Amino acid sequence: MKIDGFKILKLVSLWKKNSNYSIPKNYEKKLAENVLISNNTRATIVCVVFTFLTLFQLILLYRPKHHHSHNLFLAYRNLALINILIVITCLVYLIIINSVSLKEQIRKIKFYKFFLVIFIFTIQLLNTLTSVNAQLYNGDITAFIAIMLIFSIVSIVEPYKSILISFTNFALLIIGLYLFNVHHSKLHPQTFNAFLVMIFAILLSIMNYYNFAKSFIQKSEILNKAEELEIYKNHLEELIEERTADLVQANANLLEETHIRHKAELEAIQSNIKYEEKERLLNKAVEYEKIRTEFFANISHELRTPLNVIFCAEQMLDIIFKGIGLDNDDQFKTDKYLHTIKQNSYRLLRLINNLIDITKMDAGYFEVTLSNNDIVKITEDITLSVVEYAENKNIRVIFDTEIEEKIIACDPDKIERIMLNLLSNAVKFTPKNGYIYVNIYNMTDKVIISVKDTGIGIDKSMQKLIFDRFVQVDKSISRRTEGSGIGLSLVKSLVEMHNGQISVVSELGEGSEFIIELPKVQAKTDNIKIEESNVCKKNKNIEKINLEFSDIYF
């Protein structure tokens, strides 16, 4: 039996690719357990097959034969003894493995791994002896070649063990051939073939081990990701339930206040001849108010729940498609469609959040937590974080300040939301190759933040209305930009909650400048807000930017 050297060279190149793959330490224990389980199953099947084949061969050997030489008689006797030893080895392995539970084997995994290696070595050794014994009658090494290839394919053994077992049996085969004084015309080809088989078997065994490990780790990572997504989904549902409960309470308080106002109105118009008409109108207004508040209370849960499912499904699809390994064209299309789903989901989430905040502001339950913070750093950080988004639209963002630091009383989250809203509007309405300037000025009793762009500008007739709710400068059906008309209204409310004010200076076609004025006061506390880690802060900024820039399509 000859081995093609070109096939071995091809196998070496495949082995080099697999050898670069390293097994993470956190998977080593579980991998060892799975290797043991798989080897037990495979070894059991091999034992059963070997037992039946060996018994069949023994039956053939014990049929009456006329041996023409003493050497031939010795060869058949030795072959029978070796076959009996193979059967005994297989039966011992089957008895030991099947008499111990899988849990106990895993608990004593080092012992049973060693026991498996001894079993493989013993079977290979007996077949090596069969090949040496074969020199007495047919002079081939088929048994050695067959057993080396079978175990390199069937067993999953660490590379160093595979090398040790294969090399030892190869060495024993060569020693046996020399001891039997095999003629050099047969010895050299058989030695060469045995060496090639050993190399081939080692490479197959190593590839088999690393392929098994790679497959196991990939499956484990997919399961871990699925568990993480399930935890994330449950966490989101808990957050939604908490927000819904807060909103329901706020709406209940609003209904109570509306009811009190209604009663006060009734008392004030009792003497009026239009009492019944006004009472009817008030009842109708209360009903409309109740319907509106109930609508906003329900819409958060009804919209957030399917939105949460969409987010989770998008993330799962992203993981699955990356794991499949699509070609470049299909991967590009898949990423494009998943990005569209995610961006429009963020757009819906932004609209829902704005509607909820408007309802809480109307009810007087929207809170701003003032603490002493560096307004210059907050503004600079959030401005620099949107530079990449603006550059995707070929827009330059330039930040400048008169002062390097200024501590005032403000809510960092709300300031970031104000700036992101103004910057997203600037990016939205500024054409390519435009500019956005963010400047901070230090005045006597206030700090001024200016967001100026070179965009399309705002008509003077609309400048007094843009801070009203649901007002859009471009109301046409074919308008070029997306938006609900809520953002600037929220910005104004947030600025006023900081005891500040906001104004706009704009010329149609010349661009717009939004000016925020914040008082230079500090909170009545000595506590300085601890900055979050850069990674955490960066992740939060990316999430906020994705939310505020969701209605901008690059």
Pairwise CA distance, residues 28 & 34, whole Å: 10
The per-residue pLDDT for 451 is 95
407-410 and 511-519: which strand pairing?
unpaired
**pLDDT bracket for residue 270 (50, 70, 90):** low
- The verdict on 182 and 281 lying in the same domain is no
Residue 39, amino acid: N
Last residue within a domain, chosen from 174, 208, 225: 225
- The verdict on 51 and 176 lying in the same domain is yes
Share of the chain above pLDDT 70, in %: 79
For residue 268, the Cα-to-chain-centroid distance in whole angstroms is: 63
Residue 241, amino acid: E
List of E strands, 96-136: none
In a domain, 494, yes or no: yes
Consecutive H or E run containing 251: helix 184-268
Q: Which residue has the tokens 């090494």?
A: 141
**What is the number of domains present in the chain?**
3
Residue 491 and residue 418 in contact, taking contact as beta carbons nearer than 8 Å: yes
In a domain, 552, yes or no: no
Nearest to 344 by CA among 382, 306, 393: 306
pLDDT tens readout for residues 198-213: 888 888 888 888 888 8
Per mean pLDDT, which of 47-56, 356-365, 526-535 is the most reliable? 47-56
- The verdict on 104 and 193 lying in the same domain is yes
The per-residue pLDDT for 176 is 77
Last residue within a domain, chosen from 209, 225, 241: 225
How many CB atoms sit inside 10 A of residue 347's CB? 20
What is the average pLDDT across 401-412? 93
- The verdict on 333 and 435 lying in the same domain is no
- Say whether pLDDT at 86 is over 50: yes
**Would you state the torsion angle of the CA atoms of residues 454, 459, 465, 470, taken in this order, to the nearest 10 degrees?**
-70
**pLDDT bracket for residue 478 (50, 70, 90):** very low
What is the average pLDDT across 425-451? 93
- The verdict on 348 and 490 lying in the same domain is no
The per-residue pLDDT for 535 is 40
pLDDT tens readout for residues 294-332: 666 566 667 777 777 787 877 788 788 777 777 777 777
The per-residue pLDDT for 287 is 77
How many CB atoms sit inside 10 A of residue 72's CB? 14
Distances 339 to 203, 311, 342 between C-alpha atoms, Å: 43, 11, 5
Pairwise CA distance, residues 438 & 420, whole Å: 12
- The verdict on 215 and 79 lying in the same domain is yes
The per-residue pLDDT for 519 is 95
- The verdict on 14 and 48 lying in the same domain is yes
Nearest to 150 by CA among 47, 5, 4: 47
The per-residue pLDDT for 543 is 59
In a domain, 549, yes or no: no
- Say whether pLDDT at 414 is over 70: yes
In a domain, 93, yes or no: yes
Question: What is the secondary structure of 138-200 as a DSSP string?
Answer: T---HHHHHHHHHHHHH----HHHHHHHHHHHHHHHHHHHHHTT--HHHHHHHHHHHHHHHHH
The per-residue pLDDT for 343 is 66
**pLDDT bracket for residue 368 (50, 70, 90):** confident
Q: Does 500 or 257 have the greater pLDDT score?
A: 500
pLDDT tens readout for residues 139-160: 778 788 788 888 777 778 888 8
- The verdict on 214 and 65 lying in the same domain is yes
- The verdict on 18 and 139 lying in the same domain is yes
Residue 336, amino acid: K
In a domain, 548, yes or no: no
The contacts found for 84-89 with CB under 8 angstroms, 24 or more apart, are 84/58, 85/126, 86/50, 86/54, 86/123, 86/126, 86/127, 87/50, 87/51, 87/54, 87/55, 87/58, 89/119, 89/122, 89/123, 89/126
Share of the chain above pLDDT 90, in %: 16
* pTM of the full structure: 0.45
The per-residue pLDDT for 196 is 87
The per-residue pLDDT for 68 is 52
pLDDT averaged over the chain? 77
In a domain, 151, yes or no: yes
Q: What is the DSSP letter of 473?
A: S
- The verdict on 158 and 39 lying in the same domain is yes
Longest dimension (CA), the chain: 138
**pLDDT bracket for residue 395 (50, 70, 90):** very high
- The verdict on 258 and 212 lying in the same domain is no
- The verdict on 491 and 414 lying in the same domain is yes
What is the average pLDDT across 7-32? 58
The per-residue pLDDT for 470 is 65
- Start-to-end CA span in the chain (Å): 65
Last residue within a domain, chosen from 174, 196, 225: 225
Pairwise CA distance, residues 380 & 401, whole Å: 9
What is the average pLDDT across 343-372? 76
Pairwise CA distance, residues 353 & 299, whole Å: 11
Residue 423 and residue 386 in contact, taking contact as beta carbons nearer than 8 Å: yes
The per-residue pLDDT for 349 is 73
- Say whether pLDDT at 509 is over 50: yes
The per-residue pLDDT for 536 is 42
pLDDT tens readout for residues 441-468: 999 899 999 999 999 999 888 888 888 8
Q: Does 472 or 295 have the greater pLDDT score?
A: 295
For the ranges 14-18, 32-36, 242-246, 413-417, the lowest mean pLDDT is seen at 14-18
- Give the structural domain span for 164: 5-225
**Where does residue 325 fall: left (phi above 0), alpha (psi -120 to 50 degrees), or beta otherwise?**
left
The per-residue pLDDT for 12 is 43
Pairwise CA distance, residues 346 & 34, whole Å: 42
